[in-house]
C-alpha cells in the first residue's frame, strides 16, 4: 500500500509543470484560439483570386530565427470565412498556406511582443 501512495505522489510531482492550455490541436474549419481572442501571434484570411474565402486551407509556420521560439502546433486550418488566428511567440516566421486545388503560397511575418500581425493570402487556382 505504501508503494502505491509513493507512486501516486511521484506521478503528481512529475506533472506539476504541465499545462493543458498551450497544447490545443485545431482541425479543419477551426482556428487556433479564434481571431478575437489571441493577443500575440498571426491572424489573417485566405481567399481565392476572386476574393472568395477558402475554408480548410492549411497554414504552417517555420521559424526564421536561429534557435527560434517553439511553435505550439504543426498547423492550423482556415475557417469557413477563410480566417485563421494563431498564437505564436515573438519572432520571425515564414507562413506557408496550402489548399486542395490551389497553388501553395508563403510569406514572412514578424510577431512582436503583445502584437497580432495581420497576414492575408490570395491563392491562385491550379491550371
Residue 108: pLDDT above 70?
A: yes
What is the edge-to-edge ordering of all strands in the sheet holding 76-77?
Answer: 76-77, 58-63, 91-98, 105-111
DSSP β-ladder status, 76-77 and 58-63: antiparallel
Q: Is the pLDDT of residue 126 over 50?
A: yes
Element spanning 97, H or E: strand 91-98
Task: Inform me whether the pLDDT recorded for 80 exceeds 80.
Answer: yes
Q: What is the pLDDT of residues 10-35, one digit of tens each?
A: 444 443 333 333 323 333 443 444 44
Taking the CA atoms of the chain, what radius of gyration do you get in angstroms? 18
Residue-level pLDDT at 112:
95
Residue 29 pLDDT: 40
**All domains in the chain, ordered by first residue:** 26-121 (2.60.40.1120)
Backbone angles phi, psi at 6, to 5 degrees: -65, -40
Report pTM.
Answer: 0.70
Q: What is the pLDDT of residue 73?
A: 84
pLDDT at 102 over 50: yes
Asked if pLDDT for residue 85 goes beyond 50, the answer is yes
Which residues, including other chains, have CB under 8 Å from residue 114's CB and lie 6 or more apart?
39, 40
Instruction: State how far the Cα of 21 lies from the Cα of 42, in Å rounded to an integer.
Output: 18
Residue 70 pLDDT level (bands cut at 50, 70, 90): confident
Of 18-22, 70-74, 99-103, the one with minimum mean pLDDT is 18-22
The residue with greater pLDDT, 24 or 124, is 124
Amino acid at each position: 500500500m505504501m508503494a502505491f501512495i509513493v507512486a501516486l505522489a511521484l506521478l503528481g510531482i512529475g506533472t506539476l509543470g504541465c499545462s493543458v492550455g498551450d497544447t490545443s490541436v485545431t482541425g479543419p474549419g477551426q482556428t487556433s484560439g479564434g481571431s478575437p481572442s489571441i493577443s500575440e501571434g498571426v491572424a489573417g484570411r485566405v481567399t481565392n483570386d476572386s476574393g472568395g474565402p477558402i475554408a480548410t486551407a492549411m497554414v504552417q509556420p517555420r521559424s526564421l530565427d536561429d534557435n527560434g521560439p517553439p511553435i505550439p502546433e504543426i498547423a492550423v486550418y482556415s475557417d469557413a470565412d477563410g480566417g485563421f488566428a494563431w498564437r505564436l511567440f515573438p519572432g520571425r516566421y515564414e507562413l506557408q498556406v496550402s489548399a486542395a486545388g490551389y497553388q501553395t503560397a508563403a510569406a514572412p511575418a514578424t510577431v512582436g511582443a503583445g502584437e497580432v500581425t495581420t497576414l492575408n493570402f490570395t491563392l491562385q487556382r491550379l491550371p
